[in-house]
Structure 1
Amino acid sequence: MRLYFSSLVNRLIFAFVLAAPFYSTAQTDTLQQVVPGPQNTKAQQGKPYVILISADGFRYDYAQKYGATNLLALSSQGVQAESMIPSFPSVTFPNHYTLVTGMYPSHHGLVNNSFYDKQRAERYSMGAKEKVRDGSWYGGTPLWVLAEQQQMVAASMFWVGSEADIKGVRPSYYYNYTEKISSEQKIQTVINWLKLPEEKRPHLITFYLSEPDHAGHVYGPDAAQTIAAVKEVDATIYRLTEAVKATGLPVNFIFVSDHGMTAVDRENPIGLPAAIDPDKFIIPTSGTMVDLHAKNKADIIPVYKQLKVTEKDYKVYLKKNVPRKYNYRSKDDRMNRIGDILLVPEWPKVFSQRKPGMGYHGFDPKVVKDMHATFYAWGPAFKSGMKIKSFENIHVYPLITEILGLQQTEKVDGNKKVLKGILKK
């Protein structure tokens, strides 16, 4: 797959502002990728700035519960939501991509962290780099694509989809995902971007942090390690905002997460039901959903009926009968990637062939409040001292297009009216 690197000339010209320390490393996955050519038009140069930050697995109540004092202080000057409701399934890739497209997973195509595409006869997995970087897997128009299409420069310090050539477009500046870059390096890169000449300076920046998700999975949502991870995220946000403040630019911050985290029943996991013959079905997911793709359509109804008889601690659905609230039915499945049969465990149960981990997400966010994510926002575009009720994460996309003055080019599920009231007139 083709990657767009800057020319040697561009690298020399921008050596001092494009995170030069990263180029000195021998690790190619820590190199900044620069797409040569794009520039802000004069009109776009006068637009506001948005830094969209995600802390993976930062549950809606973590800031209050674990004393994220910087986040609470910053957001008290802007907007604090009671929570943000992730889309189903409440897992990482679908929800990060929903945040930047305004579409439910069944509409933008990333229906799970791992899934099967019948037309391609291929699996997509968040760990398969060649798939992750292939833009043909992604529907919708991510914010950075929309911005670049309208001649506004965008940059990404990681985000689901930002490595891929979606609609033939990548952010002007981006990184292939790696955990080898420190938070200080990430912050310095953002500052370097904001110090670029106006025609090259990104007005949209995405900034991803992998914690406290890792700690929550390994140690559980109530563990000391998770508390420490929350506090480290809090400290990182403080350092980032202080560094950005020194640039003097009118930057708006939106701090979100993709989902929450919950403890599960580790002693009594649900095994794969006997009615399921792995030779007859492709099974790309487990844990908080078992997704069955029949190799022979004749097997669907007989197996479904057997599963209904033995249904215990989980619900089994034919694709056409999935509850409407999930936005995950046959009629929703625009890319035909949802399984023919779905098994959805009832919290706190999970599917596993071994003892489950300490923390999980993926459950129905309309039922399990622990799945709820965080939304805080502050900066010159936002009203001050405002608290709002919970809302669905599909509405973040139109909020950002409104701030940046970008024209939406396709229909999305989010509605700009939902969050427009948090903006100054």
Structure 2
Amino acid sequence: MISTKNIFLVLLLLFACAHLSAQELSQQIVAGRENSPAQMQKPYIIYISADGFRHDYAGKYQAKNLLALKATGVQAVSMKPSYPSVTFSNHYTLATGMYPSHHGIVNNSFYDPNRKQIYLKKDASAIKDSTWYGGLPIWALAEQQKMLTAAFYWLGSETAVQGIRPTYWYNFNNKIPMDARLEAVKNWLLLPAEKRPHLIAFYFPEVDVAGHDFGSNAKETGEAVKLVDDCVGKMVELTKSAGLNVNFVFVSDHGMTESDNKNTMPLPNLIDTAKFVVPNGDALLQIYAKNKRDIQPLYLKLRAAAVDYDVYLTTKMPKRWHYRAKDNKDGRIGDIILIPRLPKIFNLTGKPTNIGKHGFDNAMPDMQAVFYAWGPAFKKGLTINSFENVHVYPLLAKILGLQYSHQIDGKLAVLAPVLR
């Protein structure tokens, strides 16, 4: 028979879980902040990322709002993601203007030999641990200068990088309906000037999810593109109803391609996991040696045996990837890198994996991301050549009138010509 005391404890636990869930779903606010009088006069930017929105998707799936909006502003032929072309690395690059090897989030999952820990994309405690993150995100730069910001999901916004979060932010989850997310943007825009964010970062995961599950040519991916397109159209209308002339920057982190997800490659049996740490991966395997003397012998064996994948020492990675030993600021890039030759991919778990993949050479056409921008800061009807995504950060800072002195990889000169 259950005692009254035990029943009370169970009810208390259920209440605590419900309360925690409500907190996780609620907007988080850093109290006591206001825009300084000077910052209240600055422009507004809504910075949108549609995860996995390949550079050709708007035309391919007739995204009517984006096609119309980009024609009123600036569009790039494509935007080149940083290597590796994965979500976490590139979202944090888009937030910091730094290559992954410099800001520290070198893959979706990776090993830090100094910490002797693996960063996993599904580990909420790691995602919220600011000590993993280098650089200074654009929202943190703004907040340092008394300009308020908001984020509805963006890697790095859930933790206080250099002690600073956006003023308004949400913990990532998939339970908040899209209408509620748009309502949050509306409410931010309607705040009084001293409380209104001048930078809103907004993240859409839907296109990436569909692309992984069904491939880049599937109707489900087209439907996800149209969902994002519809939401962008609604967001533009929200700014008009709020009476604000807002700049929009619409980007993605990478593209998408099809893989052979039936005939995958396991971890090569030459790799002794007692001597090497190998985090999970499919388009890129990083091998970290526990003893550096074991690197060269394994490298030579893998080179001799490799079929359907290429083997690199970190010291010999292509310079254009900015992913070499000399770039390896925190030691988080593996000692040996294995890169499959498409359509082949690695599958270390042996479990079924999806068809849509990214993470490959960032020069590949299918890996190319999107860049559109429109609003009062931008020229009209301008098409520019492809450029690297590190250059978006200084563009945002310029529009918002923010100063920075720390070192980044992006250069304002690359995108300055798109401004009026």
| TM-score of the two chains, using structure 2 as the length reference | 0.93
User: Which residue of the partner structure matches residue 411 of structure 1?
Assistant: 407
2:361 to 361, 364, 367: 364
Q: Does 1:401 align with 2:397?
A: yes
Query: Between Structure 1 and Structure 2, how many residues are aligned?
Result: 401
Deviations 1:281-337 (A, max 9, x none): 111132001111112222111111100101222111111111111100111011110
* 8 Å CA contact 1:289, 1:345 repeated in 2: yes
Bigger shift: 268-277 or 42-51? 268-277
1:119 to 110, 114, 125: 114
For residues 137 and 411 of structure 2, what CA distance do their matches in structure 1 show?
16
1:150 to 140, 145, 150: 145
Q: Structure 1 segments of 4 or more deviating over 3 A?
A: 23-26, 353-356
Unpaired runs of 5+ residues, structure 1, are: 1-22
Give the partner amino acid of 1:420: A
User: Which residue of the partner structure matches residue 214 of structure 2?
Assistant: 219
For residues 107 and 150 of structure 1, what CA distance do their matches in structure 2 show?
24
Bigger shift: 341-350 or 95-104? 341-350
* 8 Å CA contact 1:55, 1:209 repeated in 2: yes
User: Which residue of the partner structure matches residue 10 of structure 1?
Assistant: none
Q: Does 1:184 align with 2:179?
A: yes
Displacement of 1:119 in angstroms is: 0.9
* 8 Å CA contact 2:25, 2:173 repeated in 1: yes
* 8 Å CA contact 1:269, 1:355 repeated in 2: no
* 8 Å CA contact 2:239, 2:245 repeated in 1: no
Unpaired runs of 5+ residues, structure 2, are: 1-17
Deviations 1:328-369 (A, max 9, x none): 011101111011111011222211135542100000021x21
Q: Secondary structure at the match of 2:206?
A: coil
Deviations 1:214-267 (A, max 9, x none): 011011111111111111111111111111111111210000000000001234
User: Which residue of the partner structure matches residue 66 of structure 2?
Assistant: 71
Q: Does 1:288 align with 2:289?
A: no
For residues 155 and 286 of structure 1, what CA distance do their matches in structure 2 show?
32
Q: Secondary structure at the match of 1:285?
A: coil
User: Which residue of the partner structure matches residue 89 of structure 1?
Assistant: 84
Bigger shift: 314-323 or 271-280? 271-280
Q: Secondary structure at the match of 2:202?
A: strand
User: Which residue of the partner structure matches residue 203 of structure 1?
Assistant: 198
User: Which residue of the partner structure matches residue 50 of structure 1?
Assistant: 45
Bigger shift: 143-152 or 122-131? 122-131
Q: Does 1:193 align with 2:188?
A: yes
For residues 57 and 35 of structure 2, what CA distance do their matches in structure 1 show?
38
For residues 235 and 207 of structure 2, what CA distance do their matches in structure 1 show?
17
Q: CA RMSD in A?
A: 1.4
- In structure 2, do the counterparts of structure 1 residues 219 and 251 end up closer, same or farther at CA, with 3 Å as the change threshold? same
For residues 24 and 65 of structure 1, what CA distance do their matches in structure 2 show?
44
Deviations 1:138-161 (A, max 9, x none): 000000000000110011011000
For residues 351 and 157 of structure 1, what CA distance do their matches in structure 2 show?
33
Q: Secondary structure at the match of 2:212?
A: helix
Q: Secondary structure at the match of 1:303?
A: helix
For residues 409 and 149 of structure 1, what CA distance do their matches in structure 2 show?
13
User: Which residue of the partner structure matches residue 383 of structure 1?
Assistant: 379
Q: Secondary structure at the match of 1:28?
A: helix
Displacement of 1:409 in angstroms is: 2.6
Give the partner amino acid of 2:202: F
Q: Secondary structure at the match of 1:27?
A: helix
User: Which residue of the partner structure matches residue 268 of structure 2?
Assistant: 273
* 8 Å CA contact 1:58, 1:211 repeated in 2: no
Bigger shift: 94-103 or 277-286? 277-286
For residues 262 and 355 of structure 2, what CA distance do their matches in structure 1 show?
11
Displacement of 1:25 in angstroms is: 10
For residues 297 and 177 of structure 2, what CA distance do their matches in structure 1 show?
52
2:322 to 309, 314, 327: 327
| TM-score of the two chains, using structure 1 as the length reference | 0.92
User: Which residue of the partner structure matches residue 261 of structure 1?
Assistant: 256
For residues 381 and 119 of structure 2, what CA distance do their matches in structure 1 show?
42
Give the partner amino acid of 2:122: G
* 8 Å CA contact 2:53, 2:252 repeated in 1: yes
Deviations 1:151-188 (A, max 9, x none): 10011011000001100000000001011111111111
Q: Secondary structure at the match of 2:146?
A: coil
For residues 24 and 290 of structure 2, what CA distance do their matches in structure 1 show?
37
Name the % identity. Answer: 52
Q: Does 1:298 align with 2:271?
A: no
User: Which residue of the partner structure matches residue 171 of structure 1?
Assistant: 166
